[in-house]
A = this chain, B = another copy of it.
């Protein structure tokens, strides 16, 4: 490791400076998600700050989901970092889980429709082929398992977000998606939800392949509507917490 990539911290506003130093360090070392950061003790020594201050900064990063700490093992990068990141702490306060979930679905409905439309506008033939590939895999999994497979379904959607040309779609929806999954699996124990949404995956693909933005948007809206219906169906049981 290049020692010069970790210059000492200068003055007050310590922890902010530590965060910035960490950003430049990660950039300088070209650390990629999954890789391990230097130990807290080494960072403290290199930055000429105390270990607690380093820990404070890492705690912030951990709260932002940028980093994962494993006792006895190390601290690992979880996502790419860039100097001018935009941190967006979303907090769903008040109300029970059902309300929060419906709120995330309203956001997702807006974004999913827009992403599908943009995708239909901008998809190259190669892009369309890729999406069709994901769709085939998903439909195959559906037939073998006799139900929706979360993973393959998610891959299909991700492909659409990617082709939309705007990475923000994937980032925002991914956050909602994770929340949604935690809810379905933990309190409810349901694993094969989303049955009703299945046919709309192909119709979305068809509108994209036909380069029909408005059609893609409409089909995406129908898909989200089925998920909303599923959610409303289980509403009575969702009044508890952990």
Contact = CB atoms under 8 A, between A and B. Distances in A.
A142 interface: no
A90 B93 contact: no
A104 B168 contact: yes
Interface stretch (A24-32, A40-48, A107-115, A201-209): A107-115
A35 interface: no
Contact of A63 (B89, B165, B171): B89
A8 to B, nearest CB: 13
A70 to B, nearest CB: 12
Copies in the complex: 2
A167 interface: yes
A55 interface: yes
A89 B87 contact: yes
Interface in A67-93: 79-93
A114 B103 contact: no
A80 B113 CA distance: 30
Given A79-B93, A109-B114, A110-B110, 4 more contacts: A87-B89, A88-B175, A88-B176, A92-B168
